[in-house]
Structures are given as C-alpha cells and as structure tokens.
Amino acid sequence: MTTVGIPRALLYYQYYPMWKTFFEHLGVEVVVSAPTTRKTLAEGAARVVADTCLPVKVFTGHVISLVGNCDCIFIPVVRSLKRKSYNCSKFLGLPDMTRAVVREAPPILEIEIDINQGKGRLYRDIYRLGRHFSWNPLKVREAANVAWQAYLEYRELMCRHGLTPPQAIDNITSTTQAPESALDYTDLPQATIGLIGHAYLLYDEHINYQLIQRLQQYDVAVVTPEMLPGHVTEAAVNKLVGKAYWTYEEEVVGAGGHYLEGGVDGIIGIMAFGCGPDSLMMDMVHRQATRQKTTPFMCLTLEEHTSETGIITRLEAFMDMIYRRKQRGETVCV
Amino acid sequence: MKTYLGVDVGSVTTKLALLNESDELVSHVYLLTQGKPIEAVQQGLREIRRQLPEDVDIGGVATTGSARYLAGVIVGADLVKNEITTHAVAALHYYPDVQTIIEIGGQDSKLTVVRDGIVIDFAMNTVCAAGTGSFLDHQALRLDMSIQELSQRALTSRTPVRIAGRCTVFAESDMVHKQQMGHSVEDILYGLCQALVRNYLGNVCLGKEIAAPIVFQGGVAFNQAIIRAFREEIDIEVIVPPHHEVMGAIGAALLVHEDMAASKTASQFRGFDQSEVKYHTSSFECKACPNHCEVAEISQDGHALARWGGRCDMWERVPTTQLQLSEESK
C-alpha cells in the first residue's frame, strides 16, 4: 500500500481530517510527522536561508523527519480561497522550495487551490491528485465528497464544542466521544482571553512555549479563531477593513475584530517575527483596540529564542493587569 | 521591627529594598549583577543586614526581575512577581495620580499606561535590546569613560548630531563616522541619548497615549542627558522618583506586604545566613524526549533545591528525590 506523508505544520491544523479522509478513501495510508521538537526546528532552520520565517523552517524540519517513512509527501498550494484574496508567497512556492532544500525527499504530491480560476479547474485538479491512486474518476469524486464532509464535521467539532484543532483531530482519530467542554480547567476560569493568529502558531506547542497550557494555569479560559463560525469572522473582517486581501485574514483580523466587540477580557495576538502579512493584519487589530480602549491587546512575536523568559514575563504582566482591572471593576460596581 | 524585603535581580544590576510596616523605605542596596545573580543576591543580603539593627524581623520577601525564579529559591520568596507589575505598583504608591510610567533598564525598556490608578496597557521592547541601558554602557565603554561621565558630558552639548538609534550596530557606525568628521564628543554623546529616546518613543510607545504625570524609573533615569532628551522630545515634565533605581524592588516589597497581611502566614524567608551558603548551579540537556530541554539546577551541599527550564514538569516536580534518574538521563 502507498503511504502519503503529511508534515505536522502550516496548513495541517486547518485541513488534516479532510486530507486524511481523501487519501484513505483512495486506499492510501497516511502518516503524519511527530509534533515539533527542538530537533525538528534545528534541522529545518539549517536547510533554508536565514530570512525564512519560523513556520516555514518548522515545516521544512517536518518534511525532513518524514523522509524514509513514506512514499510521497503531500504539499498542497493554497493560492486563494475566495475571489481576489491571496496567500503569502511562501505558501505558493512551498513544494518547489521543499524540493530544492530537501533533496532526499520522496516525490512531492501537489495540488493548487485557486478559486480565481473557477470551480471547473478545481475539480480537474482534485481529479489529477486522485489519479495517482485510482484510475476511476467517480471514485476520486466520491473521495473528495467524503473528505469535504469530514472537513465540515471537523469545523463543527471546533465551533460547537469549542475544541482546539489538535483536540478535534484527537477526537476524530480516536474512538472516544466528543467531550462536553473542550479545555480542562482545574478551577473555574477567572477570565477569558481571545487568541488571534494562524493555527500553525497557536497550536504548535514547541514554538509558542505551550502558550495555551500556560494561560490555563493562570485560570484563563482560552478562545481561538477556529472556534468561531466562518460567517462571524468574515463579518468582522468586512467591518474592520472592508474586503479581505489575505487568504487567512479571518484568523487574525476577523477573530480580533469579533473579540473586540465583547465577550473576552483581553486579546493576545501571536505572530512570527518577519511575517509580512501578519505585520499588516495584526496592526489593524492593534489600532482598533487602541481606538476603542475597552479590551486590552498584546502582541507576542515568536522567533527561534530558546529562552521562554520573555514570553512568560509578558504573559504574567498581561494577566496581572487583567485581574487587577477586573478586581477594580467589580468593586466599583458594588 | 517588622519589615518586608523586595529583591529585584535584573540583567545588569541587582536591587534590594526593605520597607517597614507603614511601607516606608528603611534601607536599600543597588549593585551590579555582573552575570552572577546568586553572588549578587548574597552580596545584597549582606549589605542590607549591615545597615540594619539586630531586632529586624522579615515579615515577607518577594523577588522580581529577569532572575526572579532563581533569586526566589535563594531567599525563600513568599512571592515571585514580574517586573512590569512591580514597577507599576511602586510608581502608584508614590504618585497615585501617575498616568504614564517609563522604565528603562539594562536590557528591557517598558512603557506602562495607567488610568485612574490602574494599569490599562503596557508595552515592552521587542526582539532586540537597542535603546536600553546596555546600549549606553557599551558606547561608554568604547569611548573609555564611565557612564556617569557620559551623562555629564552629554549635558554640555550645544549642537547635538543626529545618530541612528534603531540598531546598536548602525548607531555605532554613525558615531564613529561623526567622530571622524570632527564633531565634538559631547555633541555625539547627546545625539546618542536623543537617539535612544527617539527609538524608545517610536518603538515601545508606538500607538500609545503618553499623558502627564510621567514617572521615569530604572537605572537609566540616573542619566540627566536622557531626561533632558525626553523633556525636549515630548515637551512634558518627566518626574524621576528619589529611589527610581530600586522601584522594582520596592514594588515587590509592597506586593508581598499586601499578600502577607491578607494571608496572615509566616514568611518563608531563609534568613540572612543564606548569604554565606555555597550554592552550586549547573545545567544539563535532558535526553528523555527529542526536545532536549536545557534544564538548569541549583543545589546546596549536593542536594538539588530547584530545577527549571524544562518543557514538561519532569524535573521540577520532585527535585530532591529524582537524583538517581537524573544521573541516568544526563
């Protein structure tokens, strides 16, 4: 049986259940690289030019760790998911870049998703991808439909049950039932923090220094962009900046704009140092937060620091500020 | 006399402050960390004790600053608090109507925005340390003068030259270039101070509202030329508290006083004798998983007191009983 390797990085967090279902329906075995470790990052960073952003370094490390464990590696190119919105060039060149820097990698399976080219093109590309494993167009079509269903269920798990992507993936791949409430808290949460940023930063515990877990230790309930339904984040983007330009703008501007309307005690934005699109999008949220002056906002920039002190100091101070504010607010009300 | 001790171990200096029951500063110590935080804390404890009468009772001790966890183990801290919060608490204690707190230390520069006596926003320098105290220190060293001399000579400048302040490397090449052109050292030094202030305002304060009263604390507030540059740039009077350099330690002491009064428990302070104890620090790479965390350990007479730096709590959980396991994994 053929094995397809999927790097646990970048778009994995958004689409893994969909990809897995598609390939398995065509009789292909799917392997995923292990969670990021220091080794993954070090190996990835050693191959690419120094200016490359942190998430792409991590991605390259994951590809390296898949070498020898699979027959081919799946690297989709998501160019555009909506008319006239575009993705960062690092996503567009990912398969080519990988071939160039990881020469020992097995063949790379590509598919380009570009809505600007029309649906016909998309269907043809899906068929081309499936043809590697089945000659039967009907079977490929069926696999694609089942995969789409799996994606919708995955979204449902996150939106309705408030699961984070890793929890939802665990839930799908294991046989246990969906838990009633998503994140486990030892005590009742004292505050709610909205996180904004791309899934590959929010859920990669290695590069974000276990951010979500740390926040939970401060008795904080965490909400993330994936827990918001698409129409909510889209509406927030429209309200804040008009039409979205970047493909994954909803995760930053959409979620940020939505949180700013209420429901959270503070917002923490996570971005990678040197990320072009993020520097523009995070700023939109920051400016709006400054204008409104109702919800505290803090942006944390991730890089290859091995020391977590900087992040911890800022998180502690941010939570101190929020708790002191809440305390004061309550006494004023009384 | 019942007192509360705050210990602030920063990247460049170590500060200790002792408050009495009515939160008045009884004594304080300010010394260089010199890359040896443990020795600095011990030295600080020794000096504080020398200044005190025999009947002093420590009702609570808190640590802050970048080495707060390490210092917390040595003194037996009742509270370990980040430096942003402690600085704000101290500023609010002395100036209840403060609206903006500027704090420039060795490797961090911070801005805290306060409204109605409560912190509503803060910012900290991002990835690099340009525009902090070490930037000035480094230049003073290069020009072979003390930091005090740098401050005094910069003040005499009449026509400051413009220096790029974004990056220490660029600033240095700018300074060298201006020196070779024949500008006076005083003008270059004041230009450097202006660059630091511009960098701080354009980087840390970006998008923040700076309203009076402004309190300026941290070691860099010793530098009169920086204060002048701030006044010129923002056109608002900047207040420098009398004990601006130990404000972090004072804030820590204030917080632990508040905490101990609420909890009514005895302090875990390990006593002034700790200053004579030999501590040993070491680190190792844990091989239990592919993360290869760098775990740091502090021990006394061969017994591990604490460990930290791991991604999981494997080493922090039971520091003393896992010695055997640690030998294997090392």
Range of weakest confidence among A154-163, A211-220, A308-317 = A308-317
What is the mean predicted confidence (pLDDT) over B249-261? Answer: 94
Q: What percent of chain B has pLDDT over 90?
A: 42
Q: Are residues B134 and B197 in the same domain?
A: yes
Is residue A293 within 8 angstroms of chain B, CB to CB? yes
Q: Are residues B160 and B235 in the same domain?
A: yes
Q: Are residues B66 and B144 in the same domain?
A: no
Q: Are residues B79 and B193 in the same domain?
A: no
Q: How far apart are CA B330 and CA B327, in angstroms?
A: 5
Predicted confidence at residue A62, as pLDDT, reads 96
* Closest Cα in chain B, distance from residue A325 (Å): 7
Q: How far apart are CA B153 and CA B189, in angstroms?
A: 8
Q: Which residues pair with B110 in a beta bridge?
A: B103, B124
Choose among A324, A320, A278: nearest CA to A300.
Answer: A278
Task: Give the pLDDT band of residue A329 (cuts 50, 70, 90).
Answer: low
The domains located in chain A, with CATH, are 3-161 (3.40.50), 184-333 (3.40.50)
Q: Which residue from A minimizes the CA distance to B67? A: A309
**Interface touch B66/A320, C-beta < 8 Å:** no
**Interface touch B84/A286, C-beta < 8 Å:** no
Residues of A in contact with B82 (CB under 8 A): 312-313, 316-317, 320
Pull the structure tokens for residue B312: 């999981």
Q: How far apart are CA A259 and CA A264, in angstroms?
A: 6
Q: Which residues pair with B5 in a beta bridge?
A: B18, B61
What is the CATH classification number for the domain harbouring B32?
A: 3.30.420.40
**Interface touch B66/A324, C-beta < 8 Å:** no
Task: Give the pLDDT band of residue A332 (cuts 50, 70, 90).
Answer: very low
Q: Are residues B138 and B272 in the same domain?
A: no
Place of tokens 């509360």: B4
Predicted confidence at residue B263, as pLDDT, reads 87
Domain assignment of residue B302, given as a range = 279-329
Examine residue B131 and state whether it is found in any structural domain, yes or no: yes
Q: Are residues B287 and B264 in the same domain?
A: no
- Whether the predicted interface score ipTM is above 0.85: no
Q: Which residue from B minimizes the CA distance to A214? A: B311
Helix and strand numbers, DSSP H then E, in chain A: 14, 8
Pick the residue of A212, A320, A331 with the most B CBs within 10 A to test the interface with B by mutation. Answer: A320
CA B224 distance to own-chain centroid: 19
Q: Are residues B100 and B234 in the same domain?
A: yes
* Closest Cα in chain B, distance from residue A313 (Å): 6
Q: Are residues B271 and B286 in the same domain?
A: no
Q: Are residues B157 and B172 in the same domain?
A: yes
What is the mean predicted confidence (pLDDT) over B205-229? Answer: 89
The CA–CA distances, whole Å, from B151 to B12, B29, B103, B155, B237 equal: 18, 22, 17, 6, 19
Q: Which of B82, B118, B208 sits opposite A317 (nearest CB)?
A: B82
Residues of A in contact with B117 (CB under 8 A): 328
Interface subset of B 221-260, CB within 8 angstroms of A = none
Q: How far apart are CA A256 and CA A234, in angstroms?
A: 11
Predicted confidence at residue B289, as pLDDT, reads 79
Examine residue B89 and state whether it is found in any structural domain, yes or no: no
Report how many domains make up chain B.
Answer: 3
| Mean pLDDT, chain A, integer | 88
Interface subset of A 40-79, CB within 8 angstroms of B = 40
Q: Are residues B268 and B283 in the same domain?
A: no
Q: For residue range A281-325, what is the model confidence (pLDDT) as tens digits? A: 998 999 898 888 888 899 888 888 666 778 888 899 999 888 888
* Closest Cα in chain A, distance from residue B161 (Å): 31
Q: Are residues B320 and B261 in the same domain?
A: no
Q: Which of B120, B207, B292 sits opposite A286 (nearest CB)?
A: B207
Residues of B in contact with A44 (CB under 8 A): none
